[in-house]
Amino acid sequence: MAARNPDRRCIFDFLSVSSICMSAVRTDLQIDLPVIADGAALWRIARDSKVLDLNSSYSYLLWCRDFAATSAVARDADGRPVGFVTGYVRPDRPGTLLIWQVAVDADHQGRGLAAALLDGLARRVGAEQGLTSLETTITPGNTASERLFTSFAERHGATVEREVLFDAGLFPSEPEEGQEEPRNEHGLPDLHEPEVLYRIGPLSWPSELPEFPDFAG
């Protein structure tokens, strides 16, 4: 698929991460809204991460349809997705953006792309919807995600509160029907770890975005 608009690269105001923005330009990456046709690629990137919980391919298609406005995708020069961040605004807390998943293709890791995606998405949702806090859940030992979100908090002068949101005992202890029991590298049952909630805030944003190309255009 050809890039939909090669002039729309790095369309966010990246605040204090302008160097990340420049890196994205040099590598000819474009940050864009996801579309339904991206769903399969997002599923593959999540699968290949070996870290994220892999949801059904159907769920990624639905996400690209129903939550595109609170998600972002990075595309290469040919328009193919190479990274994504998905999120939604919590219905009971309209000032809170919950980040569901962040993943970057292995060939594009180590360039700050995940941070650029996260900053850009938060900036846009914040300016449009008055975002005051950001949440995500991280399993213990996922140091890459811990660094990503604590660094985000530092860049925005926000604090990080942590608490266990979903204890391990809340997750199924046996595989779902038709699926094999997951095993870890030692051949033992791979039980789901607790999900720790990271709540980042307070966040503040300008009432309007600067004059960048239309994010949804």
For the stretch 56-110, pLDDT in tens is: 999 999 999 999 999 999 999 999 999 999 999 999 999 999 999 999 999 999 8
Span 15-39, pLDDT tens digits: 333 334 434 444 588 999 999 999 9
Residue 135 confidence (pLDDT):
99
Confidence check: pLDDT of 181 > 60: no
Span 199-210, pLDDT tens digits: 999 998 865 554
170 or 99: whose pLDDT is higher? Answer: 99
12 or 167: whose pLDDT is higher? Answer: 167
In a domain, 192, yes or no: yes
Share of the chain above pLDDT 90, in %: 62
In a domain, 50, yes or no: yes
State mean pLDDT over 173-178: 62
Confidence check: pLDDT of 140 > 90: yes
Q: Which amino acid type is present at position 177?
A: E
Domain count along the chain: 1
Q: Which of 36-40, 64-68, 135-139, 180-184 has the lowest mean pLDDT?
A: 180-184
In a domain, 1, yes or no: no
User: Do 146 and 108 meet the contact criterion of CB atoms below 8 Å apart?
Assistant: no
Q: Which of 140, 45, 53 is nearest to 100 (CA)?
A: 53
For residue 138, what is the domain's CATH number? 3.40.630.30
In a domain, 195, yes or no: yes
In a domain, 55, yes or no: yes
Residue 208 confidence (pLDDT):
54
In a domain, 207, yes or no: no
Record the pTM.
0.78
State mean pLDDT over 106-131: 93
In a domain, 96, yes or no: yes
Residue 17 confidence (pLDDT):
33
Domain boundaries, position 106: 7-201
Q: If you ran DSSP here, which 8-state letter would residue 2 be given?
A: -
Confidence check: pLDDT of 184 > 90: no
| C-alpha pair distances (Å), 28 with each of 1, 9, 74, 82, 204 | 15, 8, 10, 12, 30
Q: Which of 71, 61, 65, 73 is nearest to 97 (CA)?
A: 71
In a domain, 159, yes or no: yes
